Amino acid sequence: MKTVYAVTRGCTKCGWCAHECQVGAITVDRDGAHIDPNKCTGCGCCYDNCASEAIEKRIITPA
C-alpha cells in the first residue's frame, strides 16, 4: 500500500505547499501546483497545510 498526493482543481496557486515541502517536490506554475512523484517522500505536509484543501490523498493498493 502506498500513499500518493495529488493537486486538484481547487488550487489557488498560493505557493504555500511548495514552501513547506522539505524535498522540493512541488512546483507552482500558472496551472497550479504540481507534485513530482519521484521526489515526494509522502510526508503529507502539503496535504495538511493547504488552506484550500486542494491536495488529495490517495491510497494505492497494488493489484
Q: Under the rule (CB under 6 A), what is the footprint of ligand SF4?
A: 5, 7, 11-17, 20-21, 23, 25-26, 28, 32-33, 35, 40-46, 50, 52, 54-55
Q: Which is nearer to ligand SF4, 43 or 63 (CB)?
A: 43
26, three cell numbers: 512541488
In 1-63, beta strands by DSSP E = 2-7, 26-29, 32-35, 55-60
Sign of the C-alpha dihedral, residues 35, 59, 10, 17? negative
Write down the least CB distance from residue 59 to ligand SF4, Å.
13
Write down the least CB distance from residue 61 to ligand SF4, Å.
18
